[in-house]
Structure 1
Amino acid sequence: MPTLVQFLISVLMLLLFVQVSSQVNQFLYAGFKDIGPNNLTLDGFAKIEKNGIIRLTNHTNNITGHAFYPLPFQLKNSTTGKAFSFSSSFVLAVVPQYPNIGGHGMAFTIATTKDLKGLPIQYLGLLNSSNVGNFSNHLFAVEFDTVQDFGFDDINDNHVGIDINGLKSNASVIASYYTDNDSTKQYFNIKSGKPILAWVDYDSSLNLVSVTLSSTSSKPKKPTLSFNVDLSHVLHDT
C-alpha cells in the first residue's frame, strides 16, 4: 500500500442540475466566498478560503473533508421509480505538497446522507472497511484517484473511475480529455495542481453515465469515460 503524502484539494466551482418530472431543480455556486452554512455543509478539514475556493484537506496525514449541498433532491420518479437524468459540472485542483506525489484523491458523489462514515486514504472519505461494496450504500461516485490501490484493482495512480456502492471502479480510464475536434486524446496528471474542469452527466433514457474532462471551459463533445448503468437501482428517492 502506498504511503499517504500530504496534499490539498481545491474545488473552484460547482453546478448541479437535476431534472424532476416536468420541473427543474438546480443549484449554482459561482465561487464560495459569500456562501453561508444554510447553502453548504462542510465537515472534516474542509474550509472556504478567502479567495472563495473550498479546500477539502490540508497537509495533515490521513484526513478527510466533505462539501455537500445541504438539502435533499428528489432523484427518482415517485410513480415509476425511475431515476431522473442529471448534469453537474465543477472545477477541481489537486495540489500536492511535493511535486508528483499525491494522496489518494477526491470524489464527486451522490449519497443518501451528508454524514458519511468514510475513512481517509484509499476509502476517499466515502466508505470504510465494513461497508465498502454493500448494495445498501446507495452511493454513486466519480473518483479522481492519484494512488494505485491494488486492493481495489486500480488501473494506475492517475485515473478517473465511476464507482457504484464501492471503490472498485465499475469503469475507469487514465486521466485524459479529448481535443482537436474530439479526435485526439490528451493525457494529464491529476495532481499537477492545475484546474481540471469536469462534467458528470446521467441520461436516464439511455441508462448512461458520462464523465467529460477538459483543461478549458469548453466541454468536449466526446466524454472521457462512459458507463451503462441504471441508477434507479442505486439511488434513493432523495
Structure 2
Amino acid sequence: MAKFNIPTCLTVLTFMISHLKMINAGSSYSFSFQSFDKNPNFQSNIALYGDAKVVGNGSSLQLTRSVSSSAGRVMYKQPIKLVEGISGNMVSFSTNFSFLMSPDDGDGLAFVLVPGGFYARMFNNSPFGLNLGSEKSSPKFVAVEFDTKRDAEYGDLNDNHVGIDVGAFVSVKVRNVSSNDMVLNSGKRLHSWIDYEAGSKRLEVRLSQSGDMKPIDPLLSYPLDLSNMWNDESVLIGLSSSNGNSSQTCFLYSWSFKLRHVPQWMHSEPLDPQAFAKRAKPVQVQKKSDCILKMLAAMIFGSACGALGAFMVLYLWTIFGNRRPIVPEECSVHPGDFEYKKVKVVVDKAVQDGKH
C-alpha cells in the first residue's frame, strides 16, 4: 500500500488552491462583447462617458457624433492588477476590438491604460479627449492610437498611422498604415489585436480588415516594462475617441479583453527577437579554397563509408549465404534394431525341390 506524506500533500494542496485562485482572478478580469446592451454583463461591467451610446439595437457603440468637438469613451469599470500580489510577477494581457471611423480628419480612436484614479468623466481638447493634465503632472499612461489627423504639435507621421504612446502623446513607435494597404477612416470595419507579453516585456499591435484572420506579424512591436510604470497600482482600460473640429464618427462593434496568468514553471520566457538579433554573430564569408577542401573531404569520407558498407555486406553474405542446412539432432536417422527371433527366412519351394 502506498504511503502518503502529510506535509507533501499539504504542499500540493496549497499549490492547487493558489493556482485555482489565480485562474479565477484571471477570469474575473476577462470579458468578451460581440454585441452590446443585449449582453447581461454589459451594464454591470462597462461604463459609457461623454457622447458614447449604444445604437443599432445593441449591435454597436457610437463614441462620437457627427458634430465637431464630440468625444466619448467606454471603460471597464473594475480596476485591473497587472502585478500579482505575492509573487510580484507581471501578467500578460490581450485585447481585440472591431471599429469603424467615417472619412474625416478627426483624432481617431485610442486604446488606453490609465491609473486607477483617472477621472473618466472629464474631457478636454487633448487628443482622443483624454484629460491627462499638463505634461509635468500627466499621469503615467499607455495608449495605442489609431490616428487619422496629422498634428505637427505631436510630431505625427501622417493622417493614417498607428502609434504607441507612453506617458505623452508623442508616439515612441509609429507605423504608416498605408504601407499595409489600409485606411483607418475609410468607413470600413477594421479589427485590431493588442497583446502584452509579460515574459518578453513587449507590446504588439496587429491590424487587419474585419473578418480577416489575425496577422502573424505585428504591425507594431515595442519593448515596454509596465512593472516600472505602475508597480502594484491598479489600472483602468478603455477605448476613447474625439473628432476635434471635424464631424468624424467612430463606432465600436466588438470588444474583448483577457488577462493571462501563466505559471513560470510551464515554460521559459519568450525570446526577444530584437535582442536575439543583437547577440547573433555576423556571418563570415568563407574563402573559395576552404569550400573546395571541405567538398573534397566530404567526397573522400563518403567514398570511405560506401566502401566500408560494401565490405560489410560481402562479409555477411560470405558467412550466412554459404551455410548448408543441418538436420537437427533429434531428427537424425538411426539404423533399425530387430530381434533375431522375429526374422523369418523364406525359402523358395522350387529351390527346396532342387536341393532334394
TM superposition score normalised by structure 2: 0.53
Cα separation, partners in 2 of 1:224 and 1:203, compared to 1, 3 Å: same
In the alignment, which residue of structure 2 is the partner of 1:12? none
Q: How much has 1:202 moved relative to structure 2? A: 0.3
Q: How much has 1:203 moved relative to structure 2? A: 0.5
Residue from 119, 132, 139 that aligns with 2:124:
119
Q: What amino acid maps onto 1:77 in structure 2? A: E
In the alignment, which residue of structure 2 is the partner of 1:198? 192
In the alignment, which residue of structure 2 is the partner of 1:6? none
In the alignment, which residue of structure 2 is the partner of 1:167? 169
- 147-156 vs 74-83, greater mean Cα deviation: 74-83
In the alignment, which residue of structure 1 is the partner of 2:54? 48
Runs of 4+ that moved beyond 6 A: none
Provide the rounded CA distance (Å) in 1 between the counterparts of 2:165 and 2:86: 27
Q: Please give the secondary structure, in 2, of the residue aligned with 1:192.
A: coil
Q: How much has 1:84 moved relative to structure 2? A: 1.3
Q: What amino acid maps onto 2:188 in structure 1? A: K
Q: What amino acid maps onto 2:45 in structure 1? A: N
Residue from 95, 99, 112 that aligns with 2:102:
95
In the alignment, which residue of structure 1 is the partner of 2:218? 223
In the alignment, which residue of structure 2 is the partner of 1:78? 85
Count of aligned residue pairs for this structure pair: 204
Greater share of strand residues, 1 or 2?
A: 1
Q: Give aligned-pair identity as a percent.
A: 30
Q: Please give the secondary structure, in 1, of the residue aligned with 2:56.
A: coil
Q: Which whole-Å deviations, capped at 9, do the CAs of 1:83-106 have from their partners, x for residues lacking one?
A: 31100111011013xxxx321111
Provide the rounded CA distance (Å) in 2 between the counterparts of 1:164 and 1:228: 11
Q: What amino acid maps onto 2:53 in structure 1? A: K
Q: Please give the secondary structure, in 2, of the residue aligned with 1:199.
A: strand
TM superposition score normalised by structure 1: 0.78
Unmatched segments (≥5 aa) in structure 1? 1-19, 177-184
In the alignment, which residue of structure 1 is the partner of 2:286? none
Q: Which whole-Å deviations, capped at 9, do the CAs of 1:102-136 have from their partners, x for residues lacking one?
A: 2111101122246333424x5212235x43475x6
Q: How much has 1:67 moved relative to structure 2? A: 0.5
Contact 1:112–1:139 at 8 Å: present in 2 too?
Answer: yes
Cα separation, partners in 2 of 1:37 and 1:115, compared to 1, 3 Å: farther
In our comparison, the structure showing a higher alpha carbon Rg is 2
Q: How much has 1:80 moved relative to structure 2? A: 5.0
Greater share of helix residues, 1 or 2?
A: 2
In the alignment, which residue of structure 2 is the partner of 1:155? 157
Residue from 186, 189, 198 that aligns with 2:180:
186
Q: How much has 1:75 moved relative to structure 2? A: 1.5
Alignment partner of 1:208 is 2:202: yes
Q: What amino acid maps onto 2:213 in structure 1? A: S
